[in-house]
Structure 1
Amino acid sequence: MIKLWMAPAGLHIEPGRIADAKELARIHAQGFYRGWPVGEFESFLADDSTPVYVACDPKRRIAGFALIRIAADESELLTIAVDPKWRGKKIGQALLKATFADLLTTPARKMFLEVSEENAAAIKLYGREGFATISSRKGYYPKADGSAATALVMARDLG
């Protein structure tokens, strides 16, 4: 069975492939101070417990992706990233909705995530999608200036 979800701007969402690892690492590095290496993405893409969802055009040029981990009846959004030229087009929202839809076929009934308290756009998106802050982790995210940002831990029921 081929899994596909609709996305805005002529894109669709489909499962990631190991061949996507280099592009995912590139996009991730554009959105985070410490991007993850290609090998890390290869490991995630090879593991059924860490599905990756990619938003791409018909030629499979990737605009963004979401990576989750499933463990028993819980899931965690490990990371979500959208290429800067695609930001502001609701790609992140479409990726979240695709993960929620796909998780309905699993035992997972709750999703958790961590987000920098300084990432207002992401916090706004997560709030619109039903996430609520349940705790925080001070000094969790390293920053380029040597300081560290607090992570907000958010959760949402999946239905």
Structure 2
Amino acid sequence: MTTASPPGRAGVNVRPAARADLLEVYRIETDSFAQPWPFSAFEQYLGNPGFFVAAGESVLGYVVADTVSNQGIPLGHVKDIAVRQEARGEGVGTALLRRAINLLETEQVHAIKLEVRASNDRAIELYRAHGFEYRRTIEGYYNDGEDGLLFVRPCG
């Protein structure tokens, strides 16, 4: 299943990630984050129903999401999302996040959580626009000492 093309990016489809996408996904990861996931992490998620890429002629972004259990209650978890620098602000992140939310809601999770750097205003704005609410600060969450913010989106 693919989503409609996001505004400003004709011909972009959100689809499950394939092995052929991994190098581009990893390049986006290393260009986007000071402490990127290792390539092997993406290999581990290959085949996971929550690993999507937004692609046209090339991979423009990706999302990794899955379900976790919190005291027996199923929760969705958006673990990683990034968009190629030159495609930011064109709806790619929105399309990826929507696809992840839709998938997780079909898994009948009670809520979806994610962590974001306290300094990442652009991502925080995206998450709030999709119903995520700030819950708490996680001091020193990132390896460089920056705080993480926990956001949760109720489902159902």
TM-score, length basis structure 2: 0.88
Q: Which runs of 4+ in 1 moved over 4 A?
A: none
The answer as to whether partners of 1:71 and 1:108 remain within 8 angstroms in 2 is no
Q: Report the 3-state secondary structure (helix = DSSP H, G, I; strand = E; otherwise coil) of the residue aligned with 1:142.
A: coil
**Equivalent position of 1:54 in the other structure:** 53
**Equivalent position of 2:22 in the other structure:** 21
Counterpart among 146, 153, 157 of residue 150 in structure 2:
153
Spell out, residue by residue over 1:45-80, the C-alpha distance to the aligned partner (whole angstroms, 9 max, x if none). Answer: 14x3x62111011x4x11001101213521101010
Between the aligned partners of 2:143 and 2:77, the Cα distance in structure 1 is 20
- Percent identical across equivalent pairs? 29
Q: Report the 3-state secondary structure (helix = DSSP H, G, I; strand = E; otherwise coil) of the residue aligned with 2:141.
A: strand
Q: Give 1:109 deviation, angstroms.
A: 2.9
The answer as to whether partners of 2:104 and 2:112 remain within 8 angstroms in 1 is no
Aligned pair count reads 149
- Note if 1:64 corresponds to 2:61: yes
Between the aligned partners of 1:22 and 1:75, the Cα distance in structure 2 is 26
Paired AA for residue 115 in structure 2: E
Which stretches in structure 2 are left out of the alignment for 5+ residues? none
RMSD: 1.5
The answer as to whether partners of 2:78 and 2:100 remain within 8 angstroms in 1 is no
TM-score, length basis structure 1: 0.87
